[in-house]
Amino acid sequence: MLVKILFAGSGGQGVLTMGNILGNAAMIEDFHTTYLPAYGAAVRGGTANCTICISDEEIASPVASVPDFVVALNHPSAASFSTRLEPGGQMLYNSDLVGELISRGDITMFPVPANDIAKGIGSERSANMVMLGAFIKLTNVLKVDSIYKSVEYMLGAKKKLVEITNRAVEEGYNGFPFGNGSL
């Protein structure tokens, strides 16, 4: 088993945090895992993305020219990375920030109203974690419990933050799917 996931969004949306939490969770489950932030752009700001590989064997390359899954947090990344998916691949996108997309027949796209849901639990900044929860439910690549543990480990002392973050994961996980996935 080798799964390659690409998280993409704009600079402040916590894309790298999502990736880190997922990779860390994979480590907790004793998978081989790699995390690679995109650092192609010389200057910060604009978009951010990272690739996570999870496997039960050694991972050759942490690069995913053709990922299995894309999780897009905003419109530009949804638009650009949907084209990179494997045929048969799946994309989750933040339907609150993503407008109309040109459809590709050979992939499945799942909308997640992540901002709305995050707002619902009083923390719009946790939209990324809603997406992560939904992603786990969709793919079953890891146990959701491992995500919780990972969040705890990574945010550590900040109890409040851990709580709200995991709450967001849970909302994403339990609520998925949120709508019609085919585009």
Partner 1 sequence: MAKTKCRVVVRSEYCKGCNLCIAYCKKGVLAPSEGLNKAGYHYATPDDEKECTGCRVCVLVCPEVAIEVYGE
Partner 2 sequence: MNKVFMSGNHAFAEAAIRAGCRSYFGYPITPQNELGEYMAEHLPKSGGVFVQSESETAAINMVIGAAAAGARVMTSSSSPGISLKQEGISFLAGFQLPAVIVNVMRGGPGLGNIAPAQGDYFQATRGGGHGDYRTPVFAPGSVQEVADLTRVAFDVADRYRTPVMILGDGMLGQMKEPVEFPDMLVDLPEKEWALRGRGEGASRYMASLILDVMEMERHNWELVRKYQAITKNETLYEGYMLDDAKIVAIAYGTTARIARAAIKRVRKEGVPAGLLRPITLWPFPKEPLQELARRIEDFVVFEMSTGQMVEDVLLSLEGRGRVAFHGRPGGVVPTPVEFSRILYREYQRQVKSEK
Partner 3 sequence: MKLLNKWPSYYKKDVVTHYCPGCGHGIVHRIVAELLEEMDLGKRAVCVNPAGCAVLAYKYFDIDMIESAHGRGTAIATGVKRVKPELFVFTYQGDGDLSAIGTAETIHSANRGEHITVIFINNAVYGMTGGQMAPTTLLGQRTTTTLGGRNPKFDGYPLHITDMIAPLPGVIYAERTAINGPAGIQRTKKAIQAAFQVQVDGLGYSIVEVLSACPTNWKMTPEESFKWITEVMAKEYVPGVLTDKRGGPA
Contact residues for partner 2, defined by CB under 8 A: 20, 23-24, 27-28, 32-37, 39-40, 42, 57-63, 65
Report the partner that residue 62 touches, choosing among partner 1, partner 3, partner 2, none (CB closer than 5 to 8 A by kind). Answer: partner 2
10: contact with partner 1 by CB under 8 A:
yes
The CA distances from residue 92 to 30, 84, 154, 179, in Å, are: 25, 14, 24, 11
* Alpha carbon distance 135, 156 (integer Å): 23
What would the two tokens of residue 43 be? 């200057």
Of the pair 24, 165, the CB lying nearest partner 2 is at 24
Strands 47-55 and 2-10: antiparallel
Report the partner that residue 46 touches, choosing among partner 3, partner 2, ligand SF4, none (CB closer than 5 to 8 A by kind). Answer: partner 3
What would the two tokens of residue 63 be? 């690069």
> Please, what is the minimum distance in Å from the beta carbon of residue 98 to partner 2?
27
What would the two tokens of residue 87 be? 């045929």
45: contact with partner 3 by CB under 8 A:
yes
What would the two tokens of residue 177 be? 């799917």
| Contact region with ligand SF4 (CB under 6 A), list: 38-46, 52-60, 129-137, 167-175 | 38-46
Of the pair 44, 160, the CB lying nearest ligand SF4 is at 44
> Please, what is the minimum distance in Å from the beta carbon of residue 179 to partner 1?
21
The CA distances from residue 149 to 22, 23, 29, 103, in Å, are: 10, 12, 10, 36
Residue 145 burial (CB count, 10 A):
12
Of the pair 75, 125, the CB lying nearest partner 1 is at 75
Closest to 153 (Cα-Cα) out of 139, 167, 166: 166
For binding to partner 1 (CB under 8 A), which residues are involved? Answer: 10, 46-47, 74-76, 99
